[in-house]
Amino acid sequence: MRVPLSWLREYVDLPATETGRDVQAKLISAGLEVETVEPLGDGLKGPLVVGQVLTIEELEGFKKPIRFCTVDVGRANGTGEPQEIVCGARNFAVGDKVVVVLPGAVLPGGFAISARKTYGKTSHGMICSADELGMGDDGSKGIIVLPPEHEVGTDAIELLQLVDEVLDIAVTPDRGYALSLRGVARETATAYGLPLLDPALLDVPGPNEFGYPVEVSDPLGCDRFTARTVTGLDPEARSPIWLKRRLQKAGMRPISLAVDITNYVMLELGQPLHAYDRGRVQGTIGVRRAEQGEKLATLDGVVRTLDAEDLVITDDRGPIGLAGVMGGANTEIDDTEGTTTDVVIEAAHFDPITIARTARRHKLSSEASKRFERGVDPLAAAAAAQRTVDLLVLLAGGTAEAGVTEVIAPSAPRTITIPADHPDKVAGVAYGRETVVRRLQEIGCDVYGQDELIVTVPSWRPDLTDPNDLAEEVIRLEGYENLPSTLPKPPAGLGLTDRQRLHRRVGRALAGAGYVEALNYPFLGEHVFDQLSLATDDPKRRVVKLVNPLSDEEPALRTTLLPGLLAALRRNDGRGSHDLALFETGLVFHPREELSVAGRLPVDRRPTDDEITTLLDALPEQPRYAAVVLAGAREQAGWWGKGRPSDWADAVEAARLLAGEAGARLIVRGGRYGPWHPGRCAELAVVVDGTERVIGYAGELHPGVLKTLGLPARTCAMELDLDLLEEAGEGLPKAPHISTFPVATQDVALVVDKTVPHADVEAALHEGAGQLLESIRLFDVYESEQLGAGKKSLAYALRFRAADRTLTVDEASAARDAAVSLAAERTGAVLRGA
């Protein structure tokens, strides 16, 4: 809502020294968000006067038409002689009144005017357009031609009201009344403690039987309809300058006198109005719901197919307007031909939700619908109709008909009962009853009662429904800035949960290992599943889809973190960072086996646990996953020596790192899955509640997948289900017993088939070695011709130690032999050199 300060002053007698900035500060503190204060005519300096064109000489030989004019500016130029001015515009003729800026003047934007040579003549000033004067679009498409009644030499700065300030207010949805000068003036008056000159206080004749016939068949959709008729309008009459200027400053374009007047009254009182050409309305005006599929051509030239929920204004033929949104073309006031002489004025009140839905359905937000959606003062309709009639009579020479139609559905004023100290309790401030009552009265409430206040809310505040609404009014008028600052004392908390701590630890561990976190959008297109070589029946292909995705390419929610993370890797690589280790933890989304709709539960009570369960069951599973991707060097080459490319082992190690953080035992074994290199893929598993669960995969990605996705060669990745990993956690770590007896070390080299996994050999050694084994570590793997084709040698360091004694060599050897023999039995391992 744009509010010219000069217009606002008409209703509140503000001190002359108050600037737009001052008013802005007061209104912001009262809760109206004044976003900007726009100075109009900033820096403007005269002489700027009304002139009359005396002669026009067309200058020849220039690329564009140029006119050399003489203009009578009266005594404004000091001599009374005609002013010689060169002008490039053509929309004026000899005898027209125009706006002339004389040498010495400064136009908005610091544009200083002086006599200057141009097109072979000397131009002593300029004939002005609206644009040059900072007036905004006045529809003239050239210089301003004034109505003839203005005297030459008149100061045009005053005449055109060029110097002003405009407050631009972002009105919140609850404060529909602030979409009017009347509403903003009321807040201003309260903020300054000044009386309000309410423009809605007009003498309005009561309804009678001679008014234009109106039939409201849907009183829920339209609880009030006022109709007035004005006849004998002068089709030649044009909007006076002051009217146009106020509309322009408020951001509306002047169109025609009748339309300008209805817009003006809407801005003033907040009541949207519509003027019908009476000669084009046939029979009774009606209000009803549309028939499904009914058609209406609206004023914007669009033929709209109506919905059965749309509220329409009709005449005998059918719809002539979309109620509260936009009028129809078939009863439009004819401005261009100037044939409209009689109009019917509609000032009605419509159901906000109906209007909101219609505006949305037809993607048609108008000044009227904006106001009805937010709530219009129903009691202002009659005054607004009267104001419109008055202006039509005054400015268009019309005659007001005596008939007054008012169709009103009965309604009672709303009351709210609150304890007098309720605002005090909400704010934490002792305002006292008197202050509370005074503040409520200032916003227009009637207040009765002592400890319990019975508050009747004003008709323009449909947003006031609950005790806290009234508390807010009191607190904001007393000033949010005056609230004290106190700290509540929450009960002692338990800190982070184990799960929350794990999530932080996971991030720190990966970052500590050199991974950089990326937070990727969770959207994907299903084509990525083919790119990732997922099997056709892979459960990850079942996705949650969006009705309105940002991009039709990515309509689904991720079931894996890899597409996002790989895209980030590719982006970094493309930007010249080639040695990359990225990680992400985040939710993925799996549809339930049985899909259901999340119903709309009641809000007037706590839903039952069963009701809540139906909601939760309608949501997809949303486990938290963790993933890493790697490319390029894991260790850089440098003065210390060679670098090392990242490889499958780094990816597997990332999984082990997370398992360590979760306190879970991770099972790593050869696997095959989707995007991974079939020979370099580890399947990751844990045991949860006695059941082994595969939680993810790690290793090098498949060269074909890398090629398809345009990723660097040998890119590696790991992804696992962090929730399952967490579930597999074994709880608090137990401190081991630290023996101070000496260690006995035994190395063994075992030859096994190449296909035998180290993990199996190690597990057998571990089990076979028994209690005395302290640790086991693989320190070498090699293959050679000597060993034979298809064989490999695994060398382990076994450390033995007892808790209570120094081990003898025989004891250590016996444990080692037991370990080797179990490994031999389980894996076919042969001790080298044996």
In the region spanning residues 529 to 568, those forming contacts with another protein, defined by CB under 8 A, are 544-550, 557, 565, 568
Question: Applying CB under 8 A, does 141 fall inside the site for another protein?
Answer: no
> Near another protein by CB under 8 A, which window of 12-20, 117-125, 320-328, 598-606?
598-606
Answer for which of 40, 518, 657, 705 binds another protein (CB under 8 A) is 518
In the region spanning residues 16 to 35, those forming contacts with another protein, defined by CB under 8 A, are 28-31, 33
Question: Applying CB under 8 A, does 110 fall inside the site for another protein?
Answer: no
Question: Applying CB under 8 A, does 712 fall inside the site for another protein?
Answer: no
Output the smallest distance, CB 60 to another protein, in A.
51
Answer for which of 472, 719, 723, 762 binds another protein (CB under 8 A) is 472
* φ/ψ (deg, to 5) at 477: -70, -30
> Near another protein by CB under 8 A, which window of 114-122, 407-415, 485-493, 673-681?
485-493
Question: Applying CB under 8 A, does 78 fall inside the site for another protein?
Answer: no
> Near another protein by CB under 8 A, which window of 215-223, 588-596, 736-744, 786-794?
588-596
Question: Applying CB under 8 A, does 732 fall inside the site for another protein?
Answer: no
Answer for which of 75, 116, 141, 571 binds another protein (CB under 8 A) is 571
All residues at 6 or more sequence positions from 732 whose CB lies less than 8 Å from its CB, including other chains = 663
208, exposed or middle or buried, with CB in 10 Å at 0-12, 13-18, 19+? Answer: exposed
CB closer to another protein out of 412 and 492: 492
Distance CA(700)–CA(577), nearest Å, equals: 20
Long-range contacts of 208-213 (CB under 8 A, 24+ apart): 208/402, 208/403, 208/404, 209/403, 210/401, 210/402, 210/403, 210/404, 211/401, 211/403, 211/404, 211/405, 211/406, 212/278, 212/285, 212/344, 212/403, 212/405, 213/283, 213/284, 213/285, 213/405
CB closer to another protein out of 377 and 472: 472
> Near another protein by CB under 8 A, which window of 228-236, 333-341, 614-622, 696-704?
614-622
All residues at 6 or more sequence positions from 640 whose CB lies less than 8 Å from its CB, including other chains = none
* φ/ψ (deg, to 5) at 590: -120, 125
Question: Applying CB under 8 A, does 619 fall inside the site for another protein?
Answer: yes
CB closer to another protein out of 72 and 373: 373
Sign of CA dihedral 597, 602, 607, 608: negative
Output the smallest distance, CB 644 to another protein, in A.
9
Residue with structure tokens 């850089």?
636
Q: Are 347 and 388 in contact (CB under 8 A)?
A: yes
> Near another protein by CB under 8 A, which window of 172-180, 222-230, 332-340, 777-785?
172-180
Short-list 289, 227, 244, 234, CA closest to 140: 244
Binding-site string for another protein from residue 416 to residue 435, where x marks contact by CB under 8 A and - marks none: ---------xxxxx------
Output the smallest distance, CB 824 to another protein, in A.
39
Short-list 240, 285, 246, 287, CA closest to 263: 246
Question: Applying CB under 8 A, does 500 fall inside the site for another protein?
Answer: yes
In the region spanning residues 360 to 399, those forming contacts with another protein, defined by CB under 8 A, are 360
In the region spanning residues 632 to 691, those forming contacts with another protein, defined by CB under 8 A, are 634-636, 638-640, 643
Question: Applying CB under 8 A, does 490 fall inside the site for another protein?
Answer: yes
Answer for which of 95, 410, 491, 731 binds another protein (CB under 8 A) is 491
All residues at 6 or more sequence positions from 736 whose CB lies less than 8 Å from its CB, including other chains = none
Q: Are 802 and 808 in contact (CB under 8 A)?
A: no
All residues at 6 or more sequence positions from 601 whose CB lies less than 8 Å from its CB, including other chains = 607, 611, 612, 615
Distance CA(787)–CA(654), nearest Å, equals: 33
> Near another protein by CB under 8 A, which window of 139-147, 190-198, 384-392, 585-593?
585-593
Output the smallest distance, CB 257 to another protein, in A.
34
Say how far residue 91 (Cα) sits from the centre of its chain.
Answer: 45
Structure-block tokens of residue 501: 């701590």
Question: Applying CB under 8 A, does 220 fall inside the site for another protein?
Answer: no
Answer for which of 101, 166, 582, 627 binds another protein (CB under 8 A) is 582
First to last CA, the chain: 95
Question: Applying CB under 8 A, does 593 fall inside the site for another protein?
Answer: no
CB closer to another protein out of 64 and 605: 605
Starting at the earlier edge strand, list the strands of the sheet with 273-277.
Answer: 273-277, 343-350, 222-231, 399-408
Question: Applying CB under 8 A, does 508 fall inside the site for another protein?
Answer: yes
Question: Applying CB under 8 A, does 598 fall inside the site for another protein?
Answer: yes
Cis upstream peptide for 4 (omega within 30°)? no
